[in-house]
Structure formats: structure tokens, C-alpha cells
């Protein structure tokens, strides 16, 4: 069985053979090619190769439908959609697979393809690719010309970052390449150019990639990118390798192969706006504004448009009443009592079972209290978490800490996967001394939600490692958030944003260091703001009076 299937939709393609030859000559992994000839017989010269499958339709079914058919035929773990007029670099498949993760959609660096020259048969004059020449500027020949296939990537431009405007219309995102987060071999991209992208075959069908309701063609790169990002995945450009794309600027010789009207293009754009800009997609766990803020500023978007889209509620349709939820609460019992009691009163309004693990008896808080007779410390905290998990009787666990105010919408979330840790990133930090408040995206243990068995497995292993080797800060506190050699396990993480924010109360004795300006970060955050009013909760100056 192949590991990667390259899916090529083809209709009236002049250069299908050149694309296939380039792939076959440069693959270094267990890779196959599946071509759907959509209402067109393959041109002559297609090689007979065990890695190549060609499926032919007498009547055209459309580009999205053709890609879906190829994906259904594939049995590989990964699938890559590629246009039928591309070249690839040596070992592109092996390089991509080495860095691939199951929640990624990945694309190589994109070059422009130098496909061919026109050569005058009478005098040998060469002209860079374009429509069939009418005459030779050197000898006046008007009839005898031939294509000399070059088929290589041009040195520039090297495209690695893409976005879309509020229309939505595809845009190159050159400014992002200059930012710090745009540097390195693997970088995020907000959107995609639809000629090439790769993801797992399971994820392809899980996300409903290439939704035929959008029409045969149009906005495909935007669709794939949004479905990846808003379901909790990442879209990554791998600059270690490249593909080259021949753009359809060749007039009648190489124009678009499907009948394409402005009505069709607008249908695809409207589908994108209705589904994603309104947060209506049924697999969505993150709102549209989260993606915009992650890459902000974004060309083609104004501050007013961002604020408008922020007001659109997230309408997740994930619903499974057979799963039950509960809270585990852990504390060192050293917090100011006024803050502690305020947090506990708020948690009691949630009406979920609470199992608490404390260093002093707390018989009047929660449904079950476990008194842990151990000295305060990191290992003790992990032990508190584990015993609370083991005492819980629910499928889904929300971590709650003694100095965080949790909004009820935080507990509406249901983890999609049983082997992934999820973090709510809609959290404001509030200085209990002066009312200063800041917001930035981060994964915090206090916002963790996951399935109980996964959490028990992680914290059991964490405790064993610390008891054997001692505690190291390099193992991190947040499960699933890094790939350092000191990591506890190979599980990954994702994130969501609750409808209303939680408040992390900063009081001087927090486990993690407070950050009140961009300069406090080792790596500059993508989004950071200071504010004196927190959505739902109100003015921060009034809030601190509740705690002090």
C-alpha cells in the first residue's frame, strides 16, 4: 500500500504527460499518482507505470468531484491534490512526509513554472512561453513554430504565504514573509493557492474537503485552509522543497479547461462567506476572527470588518448527549481567601460535578474533596491532578484552577478527538492590584479540556518520569504543546475559543510569570492588546473591587 497518493484532476490538459514525468522522476517515497481524466482521454505518451492509475470519464463531472473520486480510490495515509501542469523538486514527497503531522495541511514552496519556449522552425528564434506566435520577429515566418519543453521552476518568485480578503479573493501575503513568524523552514500560512496541498486521507473526508456544493471550481485553496484552521489544525508551508506551477496566461493555447462564468466564481465566494464568515460550519471549533487575529494585519481587511466579524457567534453543531462532563479543581490553599471564595462561588454556578484535590481539607466545596497530605510543589500538584482525575466518573474533564474565573460558555465545549488535548484561548489576564488587563493567545493548563483516559495516561507517565529523573522545566506544564526531547508523550494539542472569556487573576503568587507588555515575551505574540473592559465581565476597575 502506498503512503502518499497524488491526486490530479485533468481536463483538456496540454501538459499532463510533463507533470506525470516530473513526479515519477523525482519521487523518493512510497508514492503513487491517481489521475482523473474528466471528459477527456489522456494524451499520447503517458507512461505505463505501476505507480500510475488513470480513471477516465466520458462526461465531465467537475474538478471538485474528480478530486473526491481520486481520494476515494486512494488507500494511502496521505493525499496531495496537484494541478496537471506542475513540476516538482527532487525528493519533494519524502521531504514533506518527514515533517508532516496529522493535523497539518501542508504545501511546498511554490515557484512559477518555466514550461516551454516557442521556437521558429525557419530561423531558430526562441520566444518565452505564451500563445502560439503569429509571426517570427526575426525572419517573418508566420506558420512554422514548435514548443520546446523546458519544465523547470524559475528562481523567483518563491511564494510561501497566502491569505484572502473580505470578498473573499485569493491574495499573496508577501508582508507575512518579512515577519518573525514568517521565517524558518516550516511556517504557517493563512490560506492556500489551490494548485497543490497535502493532508491525511482521513482528515480529507473528516473535514469534507472539496465540498461540491461550492461548485466545480473556485475558492478551493480558501476552503481547504479554512477547514483546516477552524477545526483546530494548522496550514504549513514547507520551504525545504518546492513545486512549480504553470499559470494559465497562455491565451487560447492554455486557458481554463472548464466552462467558467462569473456566476460560478461568485457562487463559490458566497459559499465561503455564508459558511465560514458566519461561523456556521459544523466541524468548526474556532471562530473566523481568531484566524484573522492570528495573522493580523491581513491585506484586504479593515479594523471595522474585523470588529464586525467578532460579533458573529460560533454556532458549533457538535452535540453528543451520551458524553458527560465534570470539573477537577486543584489548589495549594495559599491563595487570598477573597479571591479563592469568589472563584469557588463562580464554579458552583456551572452545575457540573466537581472533584477537588487540596492541601487542606475542603469538605464544603465540590461533590468530592481529596485531602492530599503532601508538601507544596510541582510533583505534588501533578499528583493532585492525577488523584482528582481517577476519582472523577465523567468522560470529559475540564481543569479548573483556584485563581481563574470561568464563564459558563467555557464548559459548552466537547473535544472532537479522544487523543488530543484542547485549550481554550479566550482568556484575559487581570492584575488584581491595579485592574490592568491584557489579552493574548496561549495554551494554559488552567484552560485544558480532554478525555479522562488520555489525561490519566499523561499524568501517570509524568509522575513516573519526575520520580525517576526529577522535575525539569523543559518538560513543560501544558500537555501536548511541544516536541522537545523531554516531552512526556507523543500526543498533540488543539485549541478553541469559548463564546465569552475566562479571567486569569494575577495576584503575585501565580505559577507562571505575568506578562503585561509585548517586551515580556521571549517570542513576540501574534496578537496582544491591553484593555480596561472585559467582554461579559465589565470594567476591570470595578472587577478588582470584588477581589480586594
- By the 10 Å C-beta count (0-12 exposed, 13-18 middle, 19+ buried), 321 is classed as exposed
Tell me, which fold does domain 4-107+161-309 have in CATH? Spore Coat Polysaccharide Biosynthesis Protein SpsA; Chain A (3.90.550)
In 366-502, which ranges are continuous DSSP H helix? 378-391, 452-469
pLDDT tens for each residue of 2-21: 999 999 999 888 899 999 99
Q: What are the cell numbers at 424?
A: 481554550
The torsion of the CA quartet 371, 412, 293, 110, rounded to 10 degrees, works out to 100
pLDDT tens for each residue of 326-337: 999 999 998 888
Segment 141-159 shows an average pLDDT of 92
pLDDT of 322: 44
Bridge-partner residues for 453, per DSSP?
Answer: none
Q: What CATH number was assigned to the domain covering residues 325-547?
A: 3.90.550
Q: Has this prediction a pTM greater than 0.75? A: no
pLDDT of 321: 42
pLDDT of 548: 55
Bridge-partner residues for 128, per DSSP?
Answer: 117
**In the block, residue with C-alpha cell 519556449:** 117
Of 182-191, 216-225, 312-321, 371-380, where does mean pLDDT reach its minimum? 312-321
On whether the CB atoms of residues 19 and 84 are closer than 8 A, the answer is yes
Residue 217 pLDDT level (bands cut at 50, 70, 90):
low
444-463: burial string, b at 16+ Cβ within 10 Å, e else: bbbbbbbbbebbbbbbeebb
3-state secondary structure of 370: strand
Provide the percentage of residues in the chain whose pLDDT is more than 70.
93
Q: What are the cell numbers at 180?
A: 518573525
Q: Which long-range contacts (CB under 8 A, 24 or more apart) does 118-127 make?
A: 118/145, 118/146, 118/147, 118/148, 119/145, 119/146, 119/147, 119/148, 120/144, 120/145, 121/145, 121/146
CA distance 278 to 517: 32
**In the block, residue with C-alpha cell 514548443:** 147
Cβ neighbour number for residue 523 with a 10 Å cutoff = 7
pLDDT of 256: 62
3-state secondary structure of 300: coil
Residue 105 pLDDT level (bands cut at 50, 70, 90):
very high
On whether the CB atoms of residues 519 and 525 are closer than 8 A, the answer is no
pLDDT tens for each residue of 344-386: 999 988 889 999 999 999 988 888 999 998 888 899 999 999 9
Higher pLDDT, 313 or 492: 492
Bridge-partner residues for 8, per DSSP?
Answer: 35
CA distance 298 to 480: 29
pLDDT at residue 487 is higher than 70: yes
- In the chain, ranges of CATH 3.90.550.10 domains: 4-107+161-309
pLDDT of 546: 67
Strand arrangement, sheet containing 437-440:
404-405, 502-506, 427-431, 437-440, 528-531
Amino acid at each position: 500500500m502506498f503512503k502518499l497518493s497524488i491526486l490530479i484532476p485533468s481536463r483538456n490538459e496540454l501538459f499532463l504527460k510533463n507533470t506525470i514525468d516530473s513526479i515519477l522522476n523525482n519521487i523518493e517515497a512510497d508514492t503513487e499518482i491517481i489521475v482523473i481524466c474528466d471528459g477527456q482521454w489522456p494524451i499520447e505518451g503517458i507512461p505505463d507505470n505501476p505507480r500510475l492509475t488513470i480513471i477516465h470519464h466520458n462526461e465531465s463531472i467537475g474538478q471538485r468531484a474528480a478530486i473526491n473520486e481520486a481520494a476515494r480510490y486512494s488507500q494511502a495515509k496521505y493525499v496531495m491534490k496537484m494541478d496537471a501542469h506542475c513540476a516538482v523538486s527532487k525528493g519533494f514527497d519524502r521531504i514533506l512526509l518527514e515533517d508532516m503531522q496529522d493535523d497539518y495541511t501542508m504545501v511546498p514552496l511554490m515557484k512559477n513554472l518555466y514550461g516551454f519556449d516557442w521556437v521558429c522552425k525557419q530561423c531558430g528564434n526562441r520566444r518565452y512561453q505564451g500563445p502560439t506566435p503569429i509571426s517570427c520577429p526575426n525572419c517573418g515566418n508566420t506558420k512554422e513554430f514548435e514548443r520546446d519543453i523546458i519544465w523547470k521552476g524559475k528562481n523567483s518568485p518563491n511564494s510561501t504565504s497566502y491569505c484572502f480578503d473580505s470578498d473573499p479573493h485569493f491574495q499573496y501575503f508577501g508582508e507575512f514573509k518579512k515577519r518573525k513568524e514568517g521565517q524558518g523552514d516550516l511556517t504557517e500560512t493563512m490560506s492556500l493557492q489551490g494548485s497543490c496541498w497535502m493532508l491525511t486521507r482521513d482528515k480529507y473526508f473528516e473535514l469534507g474537503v472539496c465540498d461540491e456544493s461550492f461548485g466545480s471550481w473556485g475558492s478551493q485553496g480558501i476552503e481547504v485552509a479554512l477547514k483546516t484552521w477552524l477545526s483546530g489544525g494548522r496550514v504549513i508551508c514547507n520551504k525545504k522543497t518546492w513545486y512549480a506551477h504553470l499559470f494559465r496566461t497562455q491565451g487560447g493555447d492554455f486557458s481554463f479547461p472548464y466552462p467558467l462564468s462569473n456566476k460560478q466564481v461568485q457562487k463559490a465566494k458566497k459559499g465561503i462567506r455564508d459558511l465560514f464568515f458566519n461561523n456556521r460550519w459544523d466541524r468548526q471549533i474556532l471562530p473566523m476572527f481568531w484566524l484573522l487575529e492570528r495573522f493580523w494585519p491581513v491585506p484586504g481587511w479593515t479594523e471595522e470588518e474585523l470588529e464586525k466579524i467578532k460579533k458573529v457567534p460560533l454556532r458549533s453543531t457538535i452535540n453528543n448527549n451520551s458524553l458527560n462532563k465534570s470539573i477537577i479543581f486543584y489548589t495549594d490553599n495559599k491563595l487570598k481567601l477573597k479571591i479563592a471564595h469568589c472563584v469557588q462561588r463562580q464554579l458552583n454556578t456551572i452545575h457540573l460535578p466537581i472533584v477537588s484535590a487540596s492541601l487542606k481539607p475542603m469538605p464544603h466545596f465540590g461533590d468530592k474533596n481529596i485531602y492530599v497530605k503532601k508538601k507544596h510543589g510541582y510533583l505534588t500538584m501533578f499528583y493532585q491532578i492525577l488523584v482528582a482525575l481517577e476519582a472523577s466518573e465523567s468522560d470529559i474533564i475540564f481543569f479548573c484552577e483556584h485563581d481563574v474565573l470561568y464563564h459558563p460558555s467555557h464548559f459548552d465545549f466537547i473535544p472532537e478527538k479522544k487523543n488530543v488535548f484542547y485549550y481554550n484561548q479566550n482568556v484575559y489576564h487581570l492584575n488584581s492590584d491595579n485592574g490592568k488587563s491584557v489579552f493574548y493567545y496561549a495554551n494554559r493548563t488552567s484552560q485544558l479540556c480532554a478525555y479522562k483516559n488520555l489525561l490519566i495516561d499523561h499524568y501517570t507517565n509524568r509522575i513516573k518520569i519526575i520520580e525517576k529523573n526529577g522535575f525539569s522545566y523543559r518538560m513543560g506544564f501544558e500537555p501536548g504543546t511541544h516536541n522537545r526531547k523531554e516531552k512526556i508523550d507523543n500526543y498533540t494539542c488543539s485549541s478553541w475559543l469559548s463564546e465569552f472569556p475566562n479571567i486569569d487573576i494575577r495576584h503575585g503568587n501565580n505559577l507562571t510569570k505575568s506578562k503585561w507588555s509585548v517586551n515580556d515575551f521571549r517570542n513576540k505574540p501574534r496578537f496582544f492588546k491591553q484593555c480596561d473592559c472585559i467582554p461579559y465581565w465589565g470594567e476591570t476597575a470595578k472587577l478588582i473591587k470584588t477581589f480586594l
